[in-house]
Amino acid sequence: MNSNSKQFVVVPEGSVTTPKGFRAGGLHCGLKKTERHDLGVIVCDVPANAAGVYTLNQFQAAPLRVTQESIAQGGQLQVMLVNSGNANACTGQQGEADARTMRASAAKAFGVAEHLVGVTSTGVIGELLPMGKVEAGIERLPAGVKPDGGDDFCQAILTTDLVKKEVCVSVTVGVHTVHIAGAAKGSGMIHPNMATMLGFITTDAVIGSTQLQQLLNESTDSTFNMITVDGDTSTNDMVVVMASSLAGNEALTPDHPDWAAFAAGFQYVGEVLAKAIARDGEGATKLIEVTVAHAASREAARAIAKTVIGSSLVKSACFGADANWGRIIAAVGRAGFPVQTETVDIRLGDIAVLAQSRPVRFDEERAAEYLKGELVQIHVDLNMGDATATAWGCDLTYDYVRINAAYRT
């Protein structure tokens, strides 16, 4: 879906503060060894209807549990606080106490009730937060929060990311212009099973928390849950959406005539952020997109697409510009769903390499040149049914090992 659909329009310079009522900021409080921002916040002028999705890793980080409690209490958030450089995961009772202290400190600093504050963390697992630095940073945050603070916030949430990730669209709902914006971080430990890494979506639409949760669940399944970098699901993965309701539109529900347009814009925001995370995978040189068509079921299409995109051998072949389709067909065959082994077609871009499960003569040099590009599209047609799914990932490079071998040093 894109702006040409006329269901929504991309706002090129938009950020999480473009929707009415939102401000943001970020600063360095001392969690990172460099002077880069490591504490950020999104603030809404009013309590915003909220929804979230969270990692299914059993070792769920303490801040996620605290945020879930906040949203469960009233379905709203007004302040979303995040630190980078320390995940506050696997830190026991002290870690949970520290997450609650962060929530209480932010509530005091911004003058809101504690249950209107969400908190989250990203970085090294298993180390306690230096709470003196964190609390001092939270005290300084309100002075730096501003309507154009989206960039500072994006910088504050990065760890091994090389680039910030943000997107904004506008949608016409009745006679009103509604904005949906998002920011995310993620580069390594990427293989979500709910959402991915950290994602923050803001909108000024009038929409209830129940409808937001429904929309977030649905879009997550086909965006954030369809990317992988390294096959590792983090302890801290979370996506939170906040709706200020300040656009003035008639409340959005699935029965609203403009629901489809709003849902399309929401989906687009999630997909752009998800693809940006995959493209920025640690050490990556290219984005890989795998589309599985004509599968027997949606579940099969999704599983096969993610198996291919997650294959270390496929990822390595893409890095080396080696048109080794055998690695692709092997991944298809081990994805856990039945396939007709005589009917599979595979293309690299528009280059056919397999037809009806038999090799096709192709120009190796042309294929290698295609695989050297920044976007590699792998098409797998099972010729079995009507289901289709797309997954995104990146190549596996020498730099991935270098970055992760020295992550804590």
Phi first, then psi, for residue 242 (nearest 5°) are -125, 135
Write the pLDDT tens digit of every residue in 297-356.
Answer: 999 999 999 999 999 999 999 999 999 999 999 999 999 999 999 999 999 999 999 999
User: What is the band of 235 on the pLDDT scale with cuts at 50, 70, 90?
Assistant: confident
Write the pLDDT tens digit of every residue in 178-209.
Answer: 999 999 997 666 676 655 579 999 999 999 99
Give the mean pLDDT of 250-275: 96
Q: Hey, what's the torsion of the CAs at 259, 264, 270, 271, to 10 degrees?
A: 160
Whole-number Å distance between alpha carbons of 321 and 366: 10
- At 31, list the tokens: 């969690």
Q: Identify any residues that bridge with 238 across adjacent strands, giving them in sequence order.
A: 54, 198
Give the mean pLDDT of 353-364: 97
The closest alpha carbon to 224, from 241, 237, 235, belongs to 237
Model confidence at 246: pLDDT above 60: yes
Whole-number Å distance between alpha carbons of 359 and 129: 55
Write the pLDDT tens digit of every residue in 106-120.
Answer: 999 999 999 999 999
Whole-number Å distance between alpha carbons of 74 and 83: 24
Model confidence at 1: pLDDT above 50: no
Write the pLDDT tens digit of every residue in 32-68.
Answer: 888 899 999 999 999 999 999 998 888 899 999 999 9
The closest alpha carbon to 192, from 149, 138, 238, 150, belongs to 238
Q: How far does Cα 216 stand from its chain's mean position?
A: 12
Provide the annotated active-site residues: 196
User: What is the band of 129 on the pLDDT scale with cuts at 50, 70, 90?
Assistant: very high
Q: Give the per-residue pLDDT at 195.
A: 52
- At 201, list the tokens: 């979506």
Which is it for the CA torsion 152, 153, 159, 164, positive or negative? negative
What pTM does this model have? 0.90
The closest alpha carbon to 386, from 293, 252, 248, 260, belongs to 293
Question: Across all residues in the chain, what is the average pLDDT?
Answer: 93
Model confidence at 399: pLDDT above 90: no
Report DSSP state, residue 251: P
Write the pLDDT tens digit of every residue in 219-231.
Answer: 999 999 898 876 7
Write the pLDDT tens digit of every residue in 89-100.
Answer: 999 999 999 999
User: What is the band of 4 on the pLDDT scale with cuts at 50, 70, 90?
Assistant: very low
Q: Give the per-residue pLDDT at 3.
A: 45
User: What is the band of 281 on the pLDDT scale with cuts at 50, 70, 90?
Assistant: confident
Q: How far does Cα 314 stand from its chain's mean position?
A: 23
Q: Give the per-residue pLDDT at 124.
A: 87
The closest alpha carbon to 192, from 351, 16, 392, 32, belongs to 392
How many CA atoms are closer than 13 Å to the CA of 131, on its beta-carbon side?
15
Give the mean pLDDT of 242-261: 97
Q: Which domains does the chain have, with CATH numbers?
A: 3-277 (3.60.70.12), 287-405 (3.10.20.340)
